[in-house]
Amino acid sequence: MTRRLMVATLTQAGLKLLGGNVSGQWGSRGQQLIHHCSALVYREHTVNIDTVRIEQLPLPVLSKHSVRVKMLAAPVNPADINMVQGTYPILCPLPAVGGNEGLGEVLEVGEDVITVRPGDWVVPVDAGFGTWRTEAVCEEGDLITVPKDISILGAATIAVNPCTAYRMLHDFHTLTPGSTVIQNGANSAVGQAVIQIAAAMDIRTINIIRDRPNCGEVVKELQALGADYILTEEEAMSGLQRVFQEVPKPKLGLNCVGGISGGLVLSNLDYGGTLVTYGGMAKKPLHIPAKSLIFQNITLQGFWMTQWKRNHRQDKAHLRSMLDSVCELVRLRRLRPPNCIQTPFPQYTQALDATVQPHQSKHVLIM
Amino acid sequence: MTRRLMVATLTQAGLKLLGGNVSGQWGSRGQQLIHHCSALVYREHTVNIDTVRIEQLPLPVLSKHSVRVKMLAAPVNPADINMVQGTYPILCPLPAVGGNEGLGEVLEVGEDVITVRPGDWVVPVDAGFGTWRTEAVCEEGDLITVPKDISILGAATIAVNPCTAYRMLHDFHTLTPGSTVIQNGANSAVGQAVIQIAAAMDIRTINIIRDRPNCGEVVKELQALGADYILTEEEAMSGLQRVFQEVPKPKLGLNCVGGISGGLVLSNLDYGGTLVTYGGMAKKPLHIPAKSLIFQNITLQGFWMTQWKRNHRQDKAHLRSMLDSVCELVRLRRLRPPNCIQTPFPQYTQALDATVQPHQSKHVLIM
C-alpha cells in the first residue's frame, strides 16, 4: 500500500528530472508500468542528507530507442552529496534520484537500439543519471559500453576520477616520456589515477600530500602505484632543489586543494607551464602573484569532467577512445580501482554518512 | 679632461652590455671614434636612482650594417626604474645606459643597410636599447621605422603601452563589435590605450579605477577617451547588475593591479572568459577561487610586451602590422599620447625622481 501510494504521488507530481535518462522513471499517465526499481530519492536540497530515502519507483515500458539496465554498483562521490545538498553547479529538478557514476548491465533493449545489447556493461555518458537505484530505463544515447573483463569496482569507478586524470594529462601540454607533472592531493582518487596513468606514459610525478599522522603508509601506497617523488606540504615548502637535480621542472601542475598547497604546485612549475585546478578541498583560494603570470608565463585553467563530457556529447568517438585507453590500463593492472568500501545498497545510509566526513575512503553501493 | 678620462675608463673596463645595439657604444681598442653622445649611465643596481649619472660616451664608427641615430625623445617608465634598481626580470650587464623606449631619427646608415634611411623615425625593436642618450649606433635590425606624420610624443610612447593594449585586445579572445572588456587600473597609460583602441574596435569598456579624491576629473578624462562605464573599486564591489542590463558580460578582463581589484575583474567575467594580468600595482596577489576555474571555466594568463617582441623578433611583419595599426589610430586622433611631462634631457633627475613616486604622470625626456 505504501509502495502504491508513493508511485501515485510521484506520477501526479508530473515533475521532470534532468535528462531523458531519468525523467521516464517516474512514469506518466497512460503508460503500461511493468517494472519497478528501488532508488535513493531526495525531494529537497538540504545539508541534512538524511532526507535521502529509499523509494520504489515505476519504470516505463521500453520504447524503440530505450534500454533497461540493472545497476550493479555505484560510488558515492563528494559531488553527489553536493548535488543532494544543492551546492553543486548542476542540480537535478526535484524529486531526484542521487548518484552520477556507476556500472549497469543491459537487461533489455528497444527494437531500434543498435549501440548496446543485453548483457553489455554500460556507464552513463552524462552526470545526473541517478545511478543510486537498482534498475533504470533510459535512451540508448545516455549510455556507453565498457568491457566486461575488468572488475565491477574498476568499471563502476572509471568514468569520473580516472577519466579526469587521463584528460588532464593529455589536454593541457604535450607530455613526452621523461617529462614531469607536479600535483597536490596526490592521495585523492584522481591523484592516484594521475600517478598510475603518468607512470604508464613514462612521465615522472612529483606528489604533494597533506601532513598527516600516517604519512609513512600513504607514501608506501603511492610508491606502490608508481609515484616518483612524494613530499608533504611542509617538505615541499623548503624547496624541491633535490628533485630538480634529477628531473626537469614540470610544465603541468594539477591542483585539487587550493590555498598554500596550490601555491606549492604553482611555484614549482617551469616557465610557460599550466596549473590545472580540478578541486578546492582546502576551501581556500589560490594566491597568484602577478610575476608568475607575466614573467613566468604561467597559465591557470580549470577542468571539470562533467563539462568535458557535455562538450563532447556529440563526439562519442572521443569518449570511446578515452574509455578504451583507461580500461586497457585497468585490464593491464597498471591502473587499480581506488581503495573503497563496498556497501550493500539497502545500507546506503552508511555510505552517505561516511562521504560527508572529510578524508574518508570512497564508498561504493553494491546493488 | 674629465670626458677623456671617462671614455678611457669605460674602454678599459671592456664590459659588454646586453644586445648588439648597446655594446658598441663603449668603443673598443683600435676603433676610430668620431662621435660622442651624452647618456644616462648606471654602474650598479641599487634602489637609490641618484646613481644614474649623465656621462659622455664614444660612438663607434658605422659598420656596413649599422645605423647612427639621434634620439629625439624617451619616456621614463616604471620598468626602466626597476631595471636600474635590479628588480626587473631582465637586466643589462653593468655599466648600462637606462631607458627601453624612445624615438630616434636616423642620421647615417652603413652601405648595406636597406630597411632604414637617413631622416627616418625609428623605435627600438627590443628592450634594453638604452634610449636615455642623445645618440646611438646600432644594428639596422635593432630598429623599426614609424611614420613621421604623428607627434614626437605619440611616436616616442607608442611601442610599449599602446602596443600592450593592442595585443591584449587581439590575442586572447576574438572580440566582435558590441562585445565588452573589463579592466582595472583604467587610468594607467595602458588602461587609457585600452579604452581608445577598444572604442575604435566598437568594443565597450568597463573601467575600474582606484577610489581617489579627484575621481570626478578622472571619470571625465576617461569618458573623453571613449570609456563606456567607469566605476570606482567601491562601486564595483556592490555589483555590476546595472551594466549587464545594457551590455553582455565580458569574455576578456585586463588586470594591472592584483589583490581585491583583480578579483573584481575576475568575478565579472563571462563563462569561459580570460583574465590577462600585465601588472601588479597593488603588490598583492590575485585570489582565485577554485570554482572560477572549474565551473566558470575562467583562464588566467599573463602578458609581457618585452617577451612578445622577443618571441616575434624574427617576424618583423607581425611587429610592422601592429605598429602600423596603432600609428594609424594616433594619426586619426583616435589614440592620444598619454598626458606627460616633457623634461629637457639635462634635467633628467626630475624625471627619474618623479617616476619612483606612485601615481605620477609619465615623464618624457626630450633630447
B28 touches chain A (CB under 8 A): no
Q: Average pLDDT in the B112-140 region?
A: 96
**A305: closest CA of chain B, how far (Å):** 9
Residues of A in contact with B297 (CB under 8 A): 302, 304, 307
A286 touches chain B (CB under 8 A): yes
Confidence of residue B92 (pLDDT cuts 50, 70, 90): very high
B164 touches chain A (CB under 8 A): no
**Torsion sign (Cα): B13, B19, B20, B24:** negative
Interface test with B, best of A294, A295, A306, A308 (most B CBs within 10 A): A294
Q: Average pLDDT in the A114-130 region?
A: 96
- Considering only the beta carbons, identify the residue of A89, A287, A288 that sits closest to B295: A89
Q: Are A110 and A56 in contact (CB under 8 A)?
A: no
Strand duo B274-277 + B252-255: pairing: parallel
Q: Which tens digit of pLDDT belongs to each residue from A173-205?
A: 999 999 999 999 999 999 999 999 999 999 999
Q: Are B291 and B284 in contact (CB under 8 A)?
A: no
The residue among B315 and B83 whose pLDDT is bigger is B83
Report the pLDDT value the prediction gives residue B212, as an integer from 0 to 100. 86
Residues of B in contact with A285 (CB under 8 A): 287-290
B302 touches chain A (CB under 8 A): yes
Q: Which residues of A are annotated as catalytic?
A: 88
Round to whole Å and give the CA distance between A53 and A349. Answer: 9
| Partners of A74 in beta bridges | A365
Residues of B in contact with A294 (CB under 8 A): 277-280, 302-304
Q: Are B69 and B146 in contact (CB under 8 A)?
A: no
Report the pLDDT value the prediction gives residue A3, as an integer from 0 to 100. 37
Q: Which tens digit of pLDDT belongs to each residue from B143-196?
A: 999 999 999 999 999 999 999 999 999 999 999 999 999 999 999 999 999 999
Residue B5: pLDDT over 70: no
Grid cell of A172 as nine digits = 593541457
Round to whole Å and give the CA distance between B181 and A226. Answer: 46
Q: Are A104 and A122 in contact (CB under 8 A)?
A: yes
Residue A38 φ then ψ, to 5°: -95, 135
CB distance B300–A307 less than 8 Å? no
Round to whole Å and give the CA distance between A142 and A63. Answer: 14
Radius of gyration for chain A, computed over Cα atoms and rounded to the nearest angstrom:
22
Q: Are B352 and B49 in contact (CB under 8 A)?
A: yes
Cis peptide bond upstream of A95, omega within 30: yes
By percentage, how much of chain A surpasses pLDDT 70? 91
- Considering only the beta carbons, identify the residue of A290, A296, A300 that sits closest to B293: A300
**Torsion sign (Cα): A51, A52, A54, A55:** positive
Residue A239: pLDDT over 50: yes
A274 touches chain B (CB under 8 A): no
Interface test with B, best of A87, A288, A295, A296 (most B CBs within 10 A): A288
**A275: closest CA of chain B, how far (Å):** 10
Mean pLDDT computed over every residue of chain B? 90
Report the pLDDT value the prediction gives residue B133, as an integer from 0 to 100. 98
Report the pLDDT value the prediction gives residue A40, as an integer from 0 to 100. 98
Q: Average pLDDT in the A145-165 region?
A: 96
Residue A56: pLDDT over 70: yes
**A183: closest CA of chain B, how far (Å):** 15
Tell me how far CA of residue B127 lies from CA of A194, A347, B45, B89, B131, in angstroms.
Answer: 41, 68, 17, 12, 9
- Considering only the beta carbons, identify the residue of A290, A296, A303 that sits closest to B280: A290
Q: Are A139 and A147 in contact (CB under 8 A)?
A: no
3-state helix, strand, coil in chain B (%, to 5): 35, 25, 40
Q: Are A297 and A272 in contact (CB under 8 A)?
A: yes
CB distance B299–A303 less than 8 Å? no
Mean pLDDT computed over every residue of chain A? 90
Confidence of residue A358 (pLDDT cuts 50, 70, 90): confident
CB distance A289–B280 less than 8 Å? yes
Residues 6 or more apart whose Cβ sits within 8 Å of residue B276: B168, B172, B252, B253, B254, B255, B301, B302, B303
Q: Which tens digit of pLDDT belongs to each residue from B32-52?
A: 557 999 999 999 999 999 999
3-state secondary structure of B95: coil
Report the pLDDT value the prediction gives residue A4, as an integer from 0 to 100. 36
CB distance B290–A285 less than 8 Å? yes
**A142: closest CA of chain B, how far (Å):** 23
CB distance B285–A280 less than 8 Å? no
Round to whole Å and give the CA distance between B203 and A210. Answer: 46
CB distance A302–B302 less than 8 Å? no
Report the pLDDT value the prediction gives residue A32, as an integer from 0 to 100. 59
3-state secondary structure of A143: strand
Round to whole Å and give the CA distance between B327 and B145. Answer: 11
Q: Average pLDDT in the B335-360 region?
A: 91
- Considering only the beta carbons, identify the residue of B287, B296, B301 that sits closest to A287: B287
Tell me how far CA of residue B244 lies from CA of A183, A214, B152, B229, B270, in angstroms.
Answer: 38, 51, 40, 11, 11
The predicted model scores a pTM of: 0.89
Confidence of residue B285 (pLDDT cuts 50, 70, 90): very high
